[in-house]
Amino acid sequence: MESENPLFSIIVVTYNSSNYVLETLESAKVQTYRNIELIVTDDCSTDNTVEICRNWINENKKRFVRTELITVEKNTGISPNVNRGFKAAKGEWVKPIAGDDILNPECISTFIQYSSKHPDTCFFFSGMEIFGTGEFSEKRAGVKRWISQALESFSEGSDLKVQAKKLKYRNLVSSPSAIYQVKAFRTLGGFDEDIKLLEDHPFWLKAIRNGYKILSINEQLVRYRVNGISVQTSPAFKMAKELFLQKHIFKNIFFPLIIQSINQLKIEPKDKFLCNLLKLTSLPQMFVYKIKKKLQI
C-alpha cells in the first residue's frame, strides 16, 4: 500500500514571494492526492513572505501529513535554499515549486500514476501552462517553444547519449515542473552550492552522466509564471552560467583551488572576480567548447 500511496513532499521555494505565494500554497492544498507533506523554505526574504506563509500554514496544516517552515538569517542563493527543503523532506518523491508558480490540482496524482508505470526512472518533468502579467508575450512564446523541445528530447525511447550531448550545450529539462525521487537526489549529492543561482542545469547533467534516466510527461501539470522580472536576466545569473561552464563543462582543474581562495577574500562581487580568473586559466577549453557547440558534436 505504501508503494501505491507514497508520502509526497511539496517544497515551496520562496524569496520575496509575497505577491504570489498564497496562490502557490493554495494549489498545494487542493491537490487531489492526499498523502502530502508541505515544506516552505525561505531564503531570508525582506518582505512579509515568511509571515504570510506562517499564517497560512497554521490555518491549513490539518490538510497535510506534516508541515514545516524553514528560514535562514542570511540570503544564500537558490541552490542552498532548495537543498534545505530536500534535506527536510520525509517523502519518497519531491516536487519543488517556486513561490510564484502554481500546481494543477491533478499534478501529484497524475505523476503517481505515471511513475508507477516507470519504476526504474527517478526523475520526471512535465509540460507547463505558461502565464503571466504584463506584455511579455514574446518571452512566453519562447518558453513554450523550449518546453516543446524538452518534452520531445526526453520522451520514452529517447537515447541517453543524445540527451547528454544536448544537455551539455543547453538545459532542456523543464525544472519548474520537475519531480525527483529523494533517494536518487541525495545519492547524487543534491544541487551544486558553488553555483548558487543555477541549481538545475548542473544537476541534470550530473544525473545523465551517472546513468539516471529523465522522462517527460506530456501533460500540463504546472502553471509557470513568466513576467518581466527574472533572475535569468541578471548579471549574477550570467556569472552563475560561467561558473557552471568552468566546473561542469570545461572541468577547470583550478576551480576548487580558486573558489576556495576567492571565498576567503573580502572583495565584492566575488563571483565576477572568480569568473574572470577562471576564464584566464581555461582559454583552450573555451575555444574547443565553442567549436563543438557550433558543430553540435
pLDDT of residue 231: 61
User: Which parts of the chain sit beneath pLDDT 50?
Assistant: 1
Using the Cα atoms of residue 286, residue 287, residue 288 and residue 290 in order, give the sign of their dihedral. Answer: positive
Q: Which domains does the chain have, with CATH numbers?
A: 8-228 (3.90.550.10), 234-295 (no CATH)
At residue 202, the 3 state secondary structure works out as helix
The grid cell for 283 is: 582559454
The grid cell for 56 is: 497560512
The grid cell for 67 is: 508541515
Q: How are beta strands 179-181 and 123-131 bridged, if at all? A: antiparallel
Strand arrangement, sheet containing 8-14: 66-70, 36-42, 8-14, 93-98, 179-181, 123-131, 214-225, 102-103
**Spatial CB neighbours of 74, under 8 Å, sequence gap ≥ 6:** 44
pLDDT of residue 1: 40
At residue 273, the 3 state secondary structure works out as helix
Q: Could you report how far apart the first and last alpha carbons of the chain are, in Å? A: 46
Q: CA dist 185 to 31, 158, 209, 226, 249, Å?
A: 24, 22, 14, 27, 21
Task: Assess contact for 96 and 178: CB atoms under 8 A.
Answer: yes
Task: Assess contact for 50 and 115: CB atoms under 8 A.
Answer: no
Task: Assess contact for 28 and 38: CB atoms under 8 A.
Answer: yes
pLDDT of residue 230: 57
**Spatial CB neighbours of 118, under 8 Å, sequence gap ≥ 6:** 124, 215
pLDDT of residue 261: 79
pLDDT of residue 124: 97
The grid cell for 29 is: 492544498
Task: Assess contact for 27 and 56: CB atoms under 8 A.
Answer: no
